[in-house]
Amino acid sequence: EDQVTQSPEALRLQEGESSSLNCSYTVSGLRGLFWYRQDPGKGPEFLFTLYSAGEEKEKERLKATLTKKESFLHITAPKPEDSATYLCAVNSGGSNYKLTFGKGTLLTVNP
């Protein structure tokens, strides 16, 4: 069974203080690893898809990387508007395309 573990559970940063969120996964065969951002009372908002080890994707202050066992979401010079819960999910194949999610990392960026 697919497993996704995210760490830390919560992270508090000062504005401009860069850091990384971790997503460790165990799957039988990775089809895709997905990062989402979720604001309170909202649904998850798609950020990135990573398909194979060594791949990197960037969007504004966010950069996602992938190895065979984990993914990192690097946040460079964060701003208060980056505060949200960041969710990692995997799809490992089979006949359906379900996503298995981690519990998320709650990021708070203080001004």
Partner 1 sequence: ETGVTQSPTHLIKTRGQQVTLRCSSQSGHNTVSWYQQALGQGPQFIFQYYREEENGRGNFPPRFSGLQFPNYSSELNVNALELDDSALYLCAFSSGGGNQPQHFGDGTRLSIL
Q: Checking DSSP bridges between strand 10-14 and strand 19-26, what pairing results, if any?
A: unpaired
- Residues in region 25-84 near partner 1 by CB under 8 A: 31-32, 34, 36, 41-46, 49, 51
Residue 12 binds partner 1, judged by CB under 8 A: no
How many chain residues touch partner 1 (CB under 8 A)? 29
Residues 109/16, Cβ–Cβ less than 8 Å: no
Q: Which stretch binds partner 1 (CB under 8 A): 11-19, 64-72, 73-81, 93-101?
A: 93-101
Q: Which of 73, 89, 107, 109 binds partner 1 (CB under 8 A)?
A: 89
